[in-house]
Amino acid sequence: MKNLAIFVALAIAATFAGWFFTRDVGAPAGGGRGPGGGGEAPVVAVAPARRETLVDTVEALGTAFANESVTLTAKVTDTVRRVNFEDGDFVEADAVLIELTNQEEEALLEEARANLEDTETQLRRLEEVSAAGLAPASDLDMARSRAAASEARLNTVVARLRDRLIQAPFSGVLGFRQVSPGTLLTPNTPITTLDDISIIKLDFTVPEVYLGAVVPGAKVFAQSAGFVDRSFEGTVRTVGSRVDPVTRAVTVRAHIPNGAGELRPGMLLTVRVVMAERDVLVVDEGAVFELSGQAYIFTVDADLVAHQRPIEIGERRFGRVEVTSGLDEGEQVVVEGTIKLRNGSRVRLAESDSEISSAVPSESLQDPPRAPI
C-alpha cells in the first residue's frame, strides 16, 4: 500500500512537470499569440513617435514692484488749500494734486511783474536815446542790469508758487489720501503714494549654476495665487552683478507688461524662466519600461507584429519621455496594453480604451519579465 502511494505521488509530479515545461518552455513567444500562434492576439493602443518643442526652465519665487513708485510730500511748510484727487485715481504726469495757501506769493508775483515792466520800459527809452548819441553807455548798461534783476526776481516768485503746487511726477495710480483741506503740511508729511504699474518689475533669485543660462531677453512666465488660471509673460531685463556668497544665488529682474493693472506691487509670484527650447522626439510615458537599467519600448509594424526595442531616453515632462536614440519619428509605439507582449507578438489595435481594459486579465498585476533583444 505504501509503495502504491509513492507511485501515485511520482506520477502526479511527473504530470505537473510535463505540463509546466509544455506551457512555459515549449510555447512560442507571446504565450501562443506570436506569429503562427493559435491564441487570440492581445489588444493594444499605439501612437506615433512625434517631435515637440521641449522647454528647459528654472522655477523661482519673486516679488512684484512698480515700474516707478514714490511717496508724495511737500517742499515747503504751509496749509492745504485744495485737494484735487480721490483715493485710487489714475492721474497723468504733471497733474496738480494739492494746492497750498499762496496769497502772499501771488501778491509778490504781481509786484515782481510790475517792477519788470517798469525796468523794461526804462531800458527801451535809454536804447532809443543812446542810438541818437544823447545818453552815455554807462546809463544803458545800468538799465539792462536792472531789467535782468527784475526778471530774476519774477522767476524766483514763480518758483515759490510752483513749490505750493504738488504735481504728479509721472502717470500712475494714486494710493490713499492722507491729507485734507486745512492740513498743515511739512516736508516730512506724506500726502499719498503714486505707482506706475503699467510695467511690473519682478525680482527673484536663481542659483549660480544657472547664471550662464539666464540672460537678458529670456522669457519668463509668472503666476499668482490671485489669478490661478492666468500666466503673465515677460522678459528678463537685468541679471545682478553680484552672487550672494551666503546663498550662492544671483538676483534677476524681469519686466512684465501690466496694461490691465491686474498685478500689484508686493505680490508674490511663481516664476518660470525659459532657458532654452529644443526640438525633440517624444513618446508617451506609459510606453517606456526598464529592464536592468535599460529602457525599452514596443513598436508595431505594418503586419501588426510587436517588436521590443532598446532606446536611450532623456528628460520626462508632463507624461512624455524624450527619446534621444533608438527610434524614428512616425514609428508606431505601443502606449497601452504592453503587459502581456513579447518580442514578435502579433497584436490587434484597440478602437477604444474600454476594449484594452477588458482584454487585460485581472490577475496580471505586474509586468511579466521580458528578455532584452
φ, ψ (nearest 5 deg) of residue 169: -70, -20
Cα–Cα distance between 88 and 177 in angstroms, integer? Answer: 9
Cα–Cα distance between 112 and 127 in angstroms, integer? Answer: 23
Q: What's at 47, amino acid-wise? A: A
Cell of 168: 504728479
pLDDT number for residue 165? 85
- The model's confidence at residue 352, banded by pLDDT at 50, 70 and 90, is low
Cα–Cα distance between 362 and 352 in angstroms, integer? Answer: 18
What the chain holds in terms of domains, given with CATH numbers, is: 31-49+288-355 (2.40.420.20), 58-67+195-277 (2.40.30.170), 102-163 (1.10.287)
Residue 250's closest CA among 213, 220, 219?
Answer: 213
| Angle CA 323–324–326, to nearest 5 | 80
Q: Is the pLDDT of residue 17 over 70?
A: no
pLDDT number for residue 19? 39
Cβ atoms within 10 Å, residue 43: 20
Percent of residues, the chain, with pLDDT higher than 90: 37
Provide the whole-model pTM.
Answer: 0.62
φ, ψ (nearest 5 deg) of residue 225: -65, -20
Cell of 317: 515632462
pLDDT number for residue 31? 43
Q: In what order do the strands lie in the sheet with 78-83?
A: 165-167, 96-100, 78-83, 184-185
- The model's confidence at residue 127, banded by pLDDT at 50, 70 and 90, is confident
**pLDDT single digits (tens) 129-185:** 777 777 777 777 788 888 888 888 878 877 777 788 889 999 999 999 999 999 998
* Residue 327 near residue 309 (C-beta atoms within 8 A): yes
φ, ψ (nearest 5 deg) of residue 146: -65, -40
Mean pLDDT for 228-247 is 93
